[in-house]
Structure 1
Amino acid sequence: MDERAAAPTFGEFIKAFGRIGCLSFGGPAGQIALMQHEIVDRRGWVEQGAFLRALNLCHLLPGPEAQQLATWIGWRLFGVRGGLAAGLLFVIPGALVMLGLSLLYAMAAGLGWFAALFLGIKAAVLAVVAQALMRVAKRALGTRFKWVLAALAAIPLTVLHAPFPLVILGAGVIGAVVSRTRPEWLGAHHAPTAAADRAPTHRLVLQTLGTVAAWGAIWALPLVAVFALLGPHHVLWQVGLFFSRLAVVTFGGAYAVLAYMAQQAVSGYGWLMPGEMADGLGLAETTPGPLIMVTQFVGFLAAWRHPGELSPLVAGLLGAGLTTWVTFAPCFLWIFACAPWMERLEHAERLQGALAAITAAVVGVIANLALWFALHVLFRTVTPGGLPVLASLDWRAALIAAGAAAMLFGLKRGIMETLAACALGGLALSAF
């Protein structure tokens, strides 16, 4: 270690997480590795075993696991104020950058050079999603049964357009049942009963109920204000309600819910055009913090384009703020309520089985997302049934996507470098 392994002062802690929040590029794997280096290896503020157990807990919960891990580290070191500080510092830098990019996107929409720039970014996103699919599959599909679960998730989403929450719920139920009878199908083993598995104390139950009530109220507060001031038909109410529901089913990270989000934002509410979801993901890849920050992009554009009696700018800012609030307030609820139960959750066999099955199903969900993006980026026309019109193939997008794949898989270039090169490629090919 470069520094002593003593407990930090609150000022040292704030400085460390301010640095982490500004440097947390690269998705959850890179963000978790950064916290491992800064908090465990370099400073020794949290023991390696506790860090890994907390990471397992965060995988059990909906929402961005890296942000929740940051919140847990803060809670472990300084209680609720530490959890708030770490969680907010992890989110705020990326949220501010994403807000600026969303505003620029909305104001520049319709300009030829801007459309050419994002032609390249959207094509690059196809390769980025394919890379994420391969990484998640390698980690999650360790048994034949998990491959079957991934296929069972992909088929109804692609062919039947089944609701994403229903697919995740079904996978969880299957995992919980299989974990009791055939745990080896999930690559799991029954954990030995430990003292931590005893019935929880009365005090811990009351503490948890109080935490849930307090953070549930915090989560709902802006929704109540929107309902009272603007009514249930305003776009801000729809945005707040939709992303609140999404926060409960965000298992498997941002890639897992993007297809569902796109389906609802494009077809359900009409907030975005199909290709714009890929634009938002491309922007989110360039910002620090959780990739789920793409929700802010959607909330901003939804309110900007349907402001009602508000101005587009005011509505867009409120939409971005509301979306960010209802996306990340639940993360604090989950951590503050569940962290004291961490050891007990590690021995919950059915819960672990459900998580393993959901993780496998997420591979199928991301495969569905990759197909959805490919159809709407590579083809100018897609039928209502989801089939592409072959004559509408955009050869420029196909060429740039192939180049992005070569950079990521062949040349092993980073995501930021690939996005930048493809954006320039989109500008260069815009003349054709």
Structure 2
Amino acid sequence: MTRETPSEQDTAPLTPGLAPDPDPVPSQAPVPTSIRPSEQTAVAFGTAVRAWFLISLQTFGGPAGQIAVMQRTLVDEKRWIGQRRFLHALNYCTLLPGPEAQQLATYVGWLLHGTRGGLVAGGLFVLPGVVALLALSAVYVAFGDTTAITAVFAGLAAAVLAIVVQAVIRVARKALDSRALIAIAVASFAALALFGVPFPIVVALAGLTGWALGRWRPSALPRKKAADGPDAGSAPVISDDVLHHETPTTRRTLKVLLVGLLVWGVPVAVVALLTGAGSVFTEQGLFFSGAAVVTFGGAYAVLAYVAQQAVEVYGWLGPREMVRGLALAETTPGPLIMVVQFVAFLGAYRNPGALDPWVAAVLASLLVTWVTFVPSFLFVFLGAPYMERLRGNRSLSAALSGITAAVVGVIANLGVYFAVHTLFNETRHVASGPLAFELPDPATLRPVPLVIALVAAVLLFRVKWSVLRTLGVCALLGLAAGLAGLPVS
């Protein structure tokens, strides 16, 4: 068996959510025709299932924290997969739309036990968050009007402002390493915040710009230098030769694509037939199916698009409720994009059609969760055999660099959107020529959320507290302010 040799990319440190650097000369090892897990595999399937479940209970803190949990558990402690192979898989997952941490879990599960391993690892990764956010959504609907619950949610929403600012800074430090990329980020922010350009168009134009720069002005996209030293980490207990492989054939690709599209689309089609094309279930199923394929750059990037459509176009919830939903998603395990479940729950509860509101809310939240995450499984199973080819593709890496730069502007726009609707009671829409944006009324500034947001910023940036700990403190501050009779919402 021909073994892969560590390349410069394999030994380079990788920033989660950012594009990997292209190899100057793609170095690829021959892909085995079909090597499946056998008696040589050192990890029993039941043991792996228990490990994935325990990992799923620790997936707080966004993709960086989630990837760190898998790194510690799978690479450092259990040594089921080598460091180079782990980064190899992560490189591929960063190229895909969707939550890269959940896709990484799916991919590593696939490496260990084939398709069933990928399904279990990816499914367990999101299951605790689904259950937790479903319960929290029900609590919000049932008790959200009480003083105590409203105050807690107001404190969480204010903390989200500081969390989004932190996300902007983190991504910008890693992504904007040239003037061209800074220009893409600024242009993306202006397009969204000032001109109302739809999110998918911004992403497409950024990717096209990155591709063009990589083709005609490669110096505008400087490569990051690889770290010195050999492949880090202890040798894994499972050899790379024993990990699952499949030959990328046209027959396999078509089979996976057909099965994936059926599993993805049939529930939406059934709902449309039973409830009608204009029902809230059909609208949510179609909308979030489309959102699932444009989520480049992580949850923060797509949330601006989701917030705009869910609040302004469909009217499923209010702008402040969108912020509260994000705060809830921050406090639960699993991908942050799980906030779409909260959006679906509220939208269906308020527009249940012929169903009981609670039944409609639960049905909608599960449907939206399904159409949001099934594409992630499809992308991993469909593209995994082509990973080496994708990893060495310079044009694809250049396009993703442009998209990653745009993500900085997208997240910044999300922060502005949340700040306007969290810190001010009233806004007015400004439309003049191509300009279209929301302008807050300074006289309606809300001092309590502003103070809580500043406290959150101090805790995150100066004290270096974790996101979860910061959210807990801000929730208590909101509760204290509400019980003291201060205006929190």
TM-score (norm 1): 0.94
Distance 1:423 1:382 in 2: 25
RMSD: 1.4
Give 1:408's aligned residue.
460
Give 1:312's aligned residue.
357
Is the contact made by 1:188 and 1:353 (CA closer than 8 Å) also made in structure 2? no
Give 2:49's aligned residue.
14
Q: Is residue 196 of structure 2 the alignment partner of residue 161 of structure 1?
A: yes
CA-CA distance at 1:188 after TM superposition: 3.7
Render the CA deviation track for 1:329-373: whole Å, top value 9, x for unaligned.
000000000000000001211111111110010000000001111
Distance 1:423 1:17 in 2: 30
Distance 2:272 2:191 in 1: 35
402, 407, 429: which is aligned to 1:384? 429
Alignment of 1:43-82 (within 5 A): 43-82=78-117
Larger relative helix fraction: 1
Distance 2:379 2:346 in 1: 28
CA-CA distance at 1:314 after TM superposition: 0.4
Give the stretch that moved more between structures: 47-56 or 8-17.
Answer: 47-56
Distance 1:24 1:247 in 2: 21
- Count of matched residue positions in the alignment of Structure 1 and Structure 2: 417
Instruction: Give the letter for the 2:265 counterpart.
Output: A
Instruction: Give the letter for the 1:25 counterpart.
Output: F
Distance 1:367 1:404 in 2: 17
328, 336, 341: which is aligned to 2:386? 341
**Structure 2 unaligned runs (5+)?**
1-39, 225-245, 431-437
Give the stretch that moved more between structures: 43-52 or 375-384.
Answer: 43-52
Distance 2:320 2:248 in 1: 51
Give 1:125's aligned residue.
160
Render the CA deviation track for 1:14-67: whole Å, top value 9, x for unaligned.
011011011111110011011111111112211211211111111110000000
Render the CA deviation track for 1:354-401: whole Å, top value 9, x for unaligned.
111100100000000011111100000011230001110001111111
Distance 1:350 1:7 in 2: 38
Distance 1:288 1:119 in 2: 21
Alignment of 1:109-124 (within 5 A): 109-124=144-159
Give 2:477's aligned residue.
425
Give 1:195's aligned residue.
none
Give 2:241's aligned residue.
none
Is the contact made by 2:264 and 2:374 (CA closer than 8 Å) also made in structure 1? yes
Is the contact made by 1:179 and 1:188 (CA closer than 8 Å) also made in structure 2? no
316, 327, 331: which is aligned to 2:372? 327
Render the CA deviation track for 1:151-177: whole Å, top value 9, x for unaligned.
011001000111000000001111111
Distance 1:306 1:380 in 2: 26
Instruction: Give the letter for the 1:15 counterpart.
Output: R
Q: Is residue 170 of structure 2 the alignment partner of residue 135 of structure 1?
A: yes
70, 73, 84: which is aligned to 1:35? 70
CA-CA distance at 1:315 after TM superposition: 0.3
Distance 1:105 1:222 in 2: 27
Alignment of 1:357-396 (within 5 A): 357-385=402-430, 386-396=438-448
TM-score (norm 2): 0.84
Distance 1:429 1:271 in 2: 28
Give 1:192's aligned residue.
none
CA-CA distance at 1:327 after TM superposition: 0.3
CA-CA distance at 1:178 after TM superposition: 1.3
CA-CA distance at 1:274 after TM superposition: 0.7
CA-CA distance at 1:202 after TM superposition: 9.5
Distance 1:297 1:22 in 2: 20
Instruction: Give the letter for the 1:383 counterpart.
Output: R
Q: Secondary structure at the match of 1:23?
A: coil
Is the contact made by 2:60 and 2:468 (CA closer than 8 Å) also made in structure 1? no
Give 1:232's aligned residue.
277
CA-CA distance at 1:118 after TM superposition: 1.3
